[in-house]
């Protein structure tokens, strides 16, 4: 997981222009099997006390989401701390990469709802907000049928858009009329391949209309030097007594994972 994945200057330029990039075969078949087993086992363990009869909120209907698995599950840890992924993130961001958090994103068959168009970084307690990037790895084939990702090219340049309420989403053109006329790019992924997208790039995933679980794992990176602005978030709320508003997010919860 620490071997190099060659990244060309053209690929970096494409990412910086569009705000996303598709990278095939980021994992070997053996690495994919190990990551999938680690992540799915962690999701099962974290779900053991979930009430199957509880009515899910609108947000929970989008996907099964488990955050910061690496901090609780030793088998997930080496995948999240991978230098291969971290060095790609650093090259795309142009700065050393720290972990923000990971998350399993599993869309359930038939009931997994669409993920509305949104940007990521506005939800995070970060300053500044321009460079954060996410690797989104398909643990099983991600298709239009089961809810693969789509992106709006160039929208990582839109910095002052109101955050979308994912549980009760507004119309995209009401939130960001600047996106009108942009053509979405939909990227199906075979298992073991990935996308990287800038945290300000608008993206969307369709519902899962298939008979199987859509299994994806995301690792989010922030530039070294990112500071905490004090806004509430599930990751920082657990350790907010150790953080200082305006101080760098540089504790052991946010390790550097690039050379």
pLDDT of 151-201, one tens digit each?
A: 999 999 999 998 998 888 889 999 999 999 999 999 999 999 999 999 999
pLDDT of 114-138, one tens digit each?
A: 999 999 999 999 999 999 999 999 9
Q: Which one, of 36, 23, 55, lies nearest residue 140 by Cα?
A: 36
Beta-strand runs (E) in the chain: 20-23, 64-67, 97-107, 115-118, 126-127, 133-138, 149-151, 185-187, 194-198, 203-205, 214-223, 227-228
SS (H, E, C) 73-94: CCCCHHHHCCHHHHHHHHHHHC
Q: Could you tell me which residue, 1 or 140, shows the higher pLDDT? A: 140
Superfamily of domain 9-46+58-165+172-242: q2cbj1_9rhob like domain (2.60.120.620)
Quickly count: other Cβ atoms within 10 Å of residue 156's Cβ. Answer: 26
- The token pair that represents 82 in the structure block: 């991978």
User: How far, rounded to the nearest angstrom, does the alpha carbon of residue 111 sit from its chain's CA centroid?
Assistant: 21
pLDDT of 64-88, one tens digit each?
A: 999 999 999 999 999 999 999 999 9
Q: How many whole angstroms separate alpha carbon 54 and alpha carbon 247?
A: 39
Section 45-70 average pLDDT? 81
Res. 13 pLDDT band, cuts 50 70 90 = very high
Q: Which pLDDT does position 55 carry in this prediction? A: 63
Res. 23 pLDDT band, cuts 50 70 90 = very high
CB 194 within 8 A of CB 138: yes
């Amino acid at each position: 997981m620490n071997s190099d994945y060659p990244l060309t200057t053209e690929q970096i330029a494409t990412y910086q222009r569009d705000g996303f990039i598709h990278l095939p075969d980021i994992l070997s078949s053996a690495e994919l099997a190990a990551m999938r087993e680690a992540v799915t086992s962690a999701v099962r363990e974290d779900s053991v006390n979930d009430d199957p009869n509880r009515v899910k909120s609108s947000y929970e209907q989008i996907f099964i989401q488990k955050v910061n698995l690496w901090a609780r599950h030793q088998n997930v840890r080496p995948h999240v701390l991978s230098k291969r992924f971290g060095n790609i993130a650093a090259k795309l961001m142009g700065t050393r990469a720290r972990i923000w958090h990971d998350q399993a994103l599993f869309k359930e068959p038939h009931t997994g709802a669409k993920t509305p168009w949104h940007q990521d970084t506005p939800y995070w307690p970060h300053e500044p907000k321009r460079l954060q990037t996410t690797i989104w790895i398909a643990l099983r084939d991600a298709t239009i049928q089961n809810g693969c990702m789509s992106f709006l090219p160039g929208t990582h340049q839109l910095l002052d858009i109101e955050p979308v309420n994912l549980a009760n989403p507004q119309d995209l053109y009401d939130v960001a009329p600047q996106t009108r006329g942009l053509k979405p790019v939909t990227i199906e992924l075979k298992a073991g391949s990935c996308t990287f997208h800038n945290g300000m790039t608008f993206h969307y995933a369709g519902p899962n209309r298939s008979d199987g679980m859509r299994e994806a794992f995301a690792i989010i990176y922030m530039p070294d030097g990112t500071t905490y602005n004090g806004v509430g978030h599930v990751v920082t709320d657990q350790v907010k007594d150790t953080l200082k508003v305006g101080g760098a997010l540089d504790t052991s919860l946010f390790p550097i994972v690039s050379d």
